[in-house]
Amino acid sequence: MRRIGVLTSGGDAPGMNAAIRAVVRNAVYRNLEVCGIQRGYQGLINGDMMPLGNRSVGNIVHLGGTILETTRCPDFKIKEIRAKAIEATRKAGIEAMVVIGGDGTLRGATVLAQESGLPVVGVTSTIDNDVYGTDYTIGFDTAINTAVEYIDKIRDTARSHDRLFFVEVMGRTRGFIALQSGIAAGAEAIMIPEVPENIDALCADLERTFKGGKRSAIIIVAEAGEPGSTFRIARAVKEKGGLDSRVCVLGHVQRGGSPTARDRILASRLGAAAVDALVEGRWNVSVGEVKGDIAYTPLEDTWSRRKELDGDLIRLMKILAR
């Protein structure tokens, strides 16, 4: 093996640049050439590539986003289009691939490995933290810290005006961001897809909260695949409980920003581990971190198996959100 490719795909996540840096520098340490594919699978299809060396990835560990840029590429689902991408890798002399992204990206990596015969290793990177085979994905820690920062600011206003606020956070169809940011910010209630929505119970809890002496409250809502759905919930609470509220949708501010130290370290470990895996013959796996150790998960398992929320945190949520 002499030359490997690296790409980032899907939604960007803070720490992707730290992962790219680790891939490149560990590869160079092992006397491998690195080819950076720009704009994810679309760049692979188009043959948009550039050589990467130690100096190419200098001063990027602190940057959000991805220097390779990223796209969502529906065309990669078409076999004939994938064949074009595979041919581009062969022309570029790429003998193995490191693919950085979330479950959609790893789906693409699975098919790429099957159809091309190339050794492929995935690096789990998404703010949603919904990829099986790792306790934490790159970008998740930064996203929840960003969410907590803004929730804290909203609480200042909620307290000053004796007001009920609904704060919507990202997470696609899962409640990882909502659960952890809600507990960290001391939310009075947290609504996640994994727990059935019950407006009557929510109104009763809020009534009990305000009768107990609280004059403001924050409710964290996971977008649950439908950004803006929190407005519907706020209207329902007004109709059933008679409670006025304000809604704040945090949106894509959770994707950007300088990665936390935790995300930089995780990204560095996983990026370097991906190259180690290729050199050691651990192919067609994704690298993650489980209980502090590097873990290798078959690519197909990362997106076909469901990652469960921490049941202890769900129980703690119900105890603390009072």
255-277 burial: b if 16+ Cβ within 10 Å, else e: bebebbeebbebbbbbbbbbbeb
Exposed / middle / buried, residue 246 (Cβ in 10 Å: 0-12, 13-18, 19+): middle
262: its two tokens: 């935790």
3-class state of residue 97 by DSSP: strand
Contact 303, 322 (CB under 8 A): no
3-class state of residue 165 by DSSP: strand
Contact 152, 194 (CB under 8 A): no
Question: Which of these is catalytic: 12, 103, 128, 263?
Answer: 128
Residue type, 292: G
- DSSP assignment of 279-308 equals HHT--SEEEEEETTEEEEEEHHHHHHSPPP
- CA count, 13 A, side-chain hemisphere, 227: 9
User: In Å, what is the CA distance from 141 to each residue of 181, 187, 242?
Assistant: 10, 18, 36
Q: How many CB atoms lie within 10 A of CB 162?
A: 11
Backbone φ and ψ of 53, nearest 5°: -130, -175
103 catalytic, yes or no? no
Catalytic annotation, residues: 128
